[in-house]
Amino acid sequence: MPSTQTIAPLTSETPAKNVATRDAYGKTLLELGSKREDIIVLDADLSGSTKTKAFSQKYPKRFFNQGVAEANMMGTAAGMATMGYTVFASSFAMFAAGKPWEQIRQSICIPELSVKICATHAGLTVGEDGKSHQMLEDITLMRVLPHMRVIVPADAVEAASAVRVAAETDGPFYVRLSRASTPVIFSDDYKFELGKGAILREGSDLCIVACGVCVASALDAAEELAAKGIEARIINLATIDPIDTDLVQESAEKCGAILTVEEHQIRGGLGDAVAQAVVHGKPVPMAMLGMDNAFGQSGTAEQLLSHYGLDAPAIVARSQELIKRKA
């Protein structure tokens, strides 16, 4: 495996730019479609929102709208994959992971077919659509499946790179994408590596491990912690499965405490994945920020992250509590 990346994210002097990871997905599909005729795209009647519409217009013979029939979509994707196609299947995360779970297990994961499920509108940041659409259990559902690679990109740059890697790699993938426009963290030359975490900031007082839209909040929290004399190592763990066990265990040994942050249930999500790696290697005090046995509610993405304790101030407060436990 490649060595762990140590990456400097864009600095505060760089002009702020917000882009939704679903937008990067749509643009990357067009790029892939122009290079590979084996790329097929399926959608469950939400192509305008999942950003597959541009592909449907450019390559209509390689796009199939499956209607509001997600289980059928996954079965169709599996069948096409048996013919040698690389198939991207998209819907909102609630419908892409929840409704067709049996078909994903039976028809995609057991035979290890090259179906790439790219689910948009995941997590709390779906916002005003409320708890019915705020999928907070999809990482759990997908990472429990053998052979499924689970990816949660931190920004649009990483999303584009991860989609390319998924297209180039045989077997099933689940790529979790956001509705909300979120800060661009990485420069355009950043390369996603499957199964490898990335150190975005060094520190030894504690390690904050985040994925998806929470990575930007973790970086903001690190700045506030530094002003208080606490140096936090920040890790972007975009690959939830296969997890970068070496990096997690090395961080536990170096920092002596780990905090995980995710817009997902803490049961079965990023926190559980990191805890399993820690307990088998270097047990240290841990805390998990995420949804704890609760559904969401309607509100803006920013309001919800603040209300449920997933913004920078909440990360700072929990980090300080964890430092006391470590001591």
Q: Can you list the pairs that 316-322 forms with residues at least 24 positions away whose Cβ atoms lie under 8 Å?
A: 316/221, 316/224, 316/225, 316/228, 318/259, 318/287, 318/289, 319/206, 319/208, 319/221, 319/225, 319/230, 319/232, 319/259, 320/225, 320/228, 320/230, 321/287, 322/206, 322/257, 322/259, 322/285, 322/286, 322/287
Question: In whole angstroms, what is the distance from residue 132 CA to residue 138 CA?
Answer: 13
Amino acid 232 reads A
Strand, helix or coil for residue 287? strand
Residues labelled as active-site residues: 70
* 61 Cβ contact partners less than 8 Å away, ≥ 6 residues apart: none
